[in-house]
């Protein structure tokens, strides 16, 4: 029996690349040295569930705890944990997160259990274009997905540098993290204009920072994190380091994160930084192939800037309509008339209240959607989400493809 268990662990390590066979007593962690499978400071912990043994990565989890302001007893980054800057960030962000979790996230979880779970059928892959680093809402609403595929303009970034000799500069890093979270925690979406500044600076240089923060704060444990791109056939290709990825000549840069959720289920997240307009996808054969390779998915759209209402986002819109079994969105996703004109037939369930878009997007008012909301009626949401968040006049639609 012991031999069988050992073989199983070996197979899983080969498959998932989550542990390092070499134990090291001391490692100098530098930003450029975070390799595709991450520099390991000591042997990774092998965590066990009822069925299989899946290894997690101690260095990644210690790093994620720092990024998320979570205190731990790990000897890794102990000098950060002991610093006043980290303690201040941890104390203030604990309060901020606790308030967010007990109100907003709790409302999302209730809505998922009471409403979404009645209509939305499980698909292996949850596709979330125009997401930015918002893994928070996708995993809360769709915790049963095995794979999350996310797209945004924001860069992937690289891991922060935590060096003992430079620990006095930590306050700037934590300040930048706090600033980048303001919109998502307050309004439920990232502002594209703000993200162009908040995730493109020396300290917080991409989505990686917030992906790790959200995943760790929602009780996930990391197995691996690798810089990726895709080849011309849509196959994932790994870069040597995140710094090398930045210099790679490609239209598609991404990160693959494997993690265990709170129920010890193995999950995979792909975030891609790219231009999803027709002008970008037209010259990105590899990513078009990757999208096709996803097969049947469920798609989530929130705070999508009404981009797919426009003619020059027709390619990504076609992918979603063609490959999605269900599309869960607010009115900023795909305009209703595209569903009605589609070769597939769709059923609709409506939630919340449809009102005219905020002034910035007033041109995208949908009279046909307004009429359908009145005709079919809608179930109250009970919380604000999307661009009309302040007015509590939020809406959500589930479009289900007929068999």
What is the structure's pLDDT at 113? 97
pLDDT at 337 over 80: yes
Is the model more confident about 104 or about 271? 271
Total-model pTM: 0.85
285 and 300 share one domain: no
pLDDT at 27 over 60: no
pLDDT at 300 over 60: yes
In terms of phi and psi (left: phi > 0; alpha: psi -120 to 50; beta: otherwise), the region of 126 is: beta
* Structural domains counted in the chain: 2
- Tens of pLDDT, residue by residue over 40-92, are 333 344 444 444 557 899 999 999 999 999 999 989 999 999 999 999 999 99
Domain hosting residue 344, numbered range: 296-403
> Which of 268, 294, 320 is the last residue before a domain boundary?
294
309 and 162 share one domain: no
Q: Which one, of 203, 113, 198, 100, lies nearest residue 160 by Cα? A: 203
51: burial class by Cβ within 10 Å (0-12, 13-18, 19+)?
exposed
Q: What is the mean pLDDT of residues 372-395?
A: 88
Q: What is the mean pLDDT of residues 267-288?
A: 97
Say if CB 18 and CB 258 are below 8 A apart.
yes
394 and 280 share one domain: no
Cα(64)–Cα(87) distance, integer angstroms: 15
**Tokens representing residue 170 in the block:** 């930590």
pLDDT at 224 over 50: yes
Say if CB 298 and CB 145 are below 8 A apart.
yes
150 and 279 share one domain: yes
Ranges 15-29, 95-109, 112-126, 143-157: which has the least confidence: 15-29
Residues β-bridged to residue 54: 47
103 and 126 share one domain: yes
SS3 state at 400: strand
DSSP 104: I
301 and 368 share one domain: yes
> Which of 263, 294, 325 is the last residue before a domain boundary?
294
Say if CB 190 and CB 133 are below 8 A apart.
yes
Say if CB 217 and CB 97 are below 8 A apart.
yes
Helices (H), 257-313: 278-281, 285-293
198 and 326 share one domain: no
What is the structure's pLDDT at 48? 43
189 and 213 share one domain: yes
114 and 13 share one domain: yes
275 and 150 share one domain: yes
> Which of 294, 316, 335 is the last residue before a domain boundary?
294
171 and 98 share one domain: yes
SS3 state at 52: coil
Q: Which one, of 18, 385, 6, lies nearest residue 225 by Cα? A: 18
Nearest-10 crossing angle of helices 170-180, 208-217? 80
312 and 328 share one domain: yes
Helices (H), 304-348: 314-323, 336-341
């Amino acid at each position: 029996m012991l031999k069988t268990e050992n073989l199983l662990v070996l197979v899983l390590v080969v498959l998932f690349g989550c542990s390092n066979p070499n134990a090291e007593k001391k490692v100098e962690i530098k930003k450029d040295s975070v390799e595709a499978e991450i520099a390991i400071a000591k042997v990774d912990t092998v965590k066990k569930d009822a069925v299989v043994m899946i290894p997690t990565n101690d260095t990644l989890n210690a790093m994620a705890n720092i990024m998320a302001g979570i205190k731990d007893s790990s000897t890794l980054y102990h000098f950060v944990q002991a610093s006043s800057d980290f303690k201040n960030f941890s104390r203030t962000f604990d309060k901020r997160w606790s308030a967010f979790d007990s109100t907003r996230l709790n409302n999302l979880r209730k809505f998922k259990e009471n409403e979404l779970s009645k209509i939305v059928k499980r698909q292996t892959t949850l596709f979330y274009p125009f997401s930015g680093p918002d893994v928070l809402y996708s995993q809360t609403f769709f915790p049963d997905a095995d794979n999350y595929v996310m797209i945004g303009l924001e860069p992937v970034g690289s891991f922060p540098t935590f060096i003992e000799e430079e620990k006095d500069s930590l306050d700037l890093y934590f300040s930048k993290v706090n600033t980048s979270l303001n919109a998502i925690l307050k309004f439920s979406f990232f502002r594209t204009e703000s993200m162009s500044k908040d995730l493109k600076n020396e300290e917080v240089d991409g989505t990686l920072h917030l992906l790790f923060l959200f995943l760790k704060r929602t009780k996930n444990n990391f197995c691996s994190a690798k810089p990726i791109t895709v080849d011309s056939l849509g196959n994932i290709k790994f870069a040597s380091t995140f710094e090398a990825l930045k210099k790679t000549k490609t239209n598609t840069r991404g990160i693959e994160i494997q993690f265990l959720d709170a129920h010890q289920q193995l999950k995979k997240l792909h975030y891609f930084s790219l231009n999803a307009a027709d002008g970008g996808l037209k010259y990105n054969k590899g990513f078009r192939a990757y999208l096709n390779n996803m097969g049947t998915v469920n798609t989530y759209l929130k705070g999508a800037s009404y981009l797919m209402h426009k003619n020059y986002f027709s390619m990504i819109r076609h992918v979603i309509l063609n490959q999605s079994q269900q599309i869960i969105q607010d009115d900023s996703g795909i305009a209703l008339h595209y569903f009605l004109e589609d070769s597939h037939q769709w059923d609709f369930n409506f939630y919340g209240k449809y009102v005219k878009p905020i002034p910035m997007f007033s041109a995208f008012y949908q009279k046909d959607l307004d009429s359908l909301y009145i005709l079919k009626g809608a179930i109250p949401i009970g919380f604000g989400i999307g661009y009309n968040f302040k007015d509590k006049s939020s809406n959500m639609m589930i479009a289900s493809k007929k068999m």
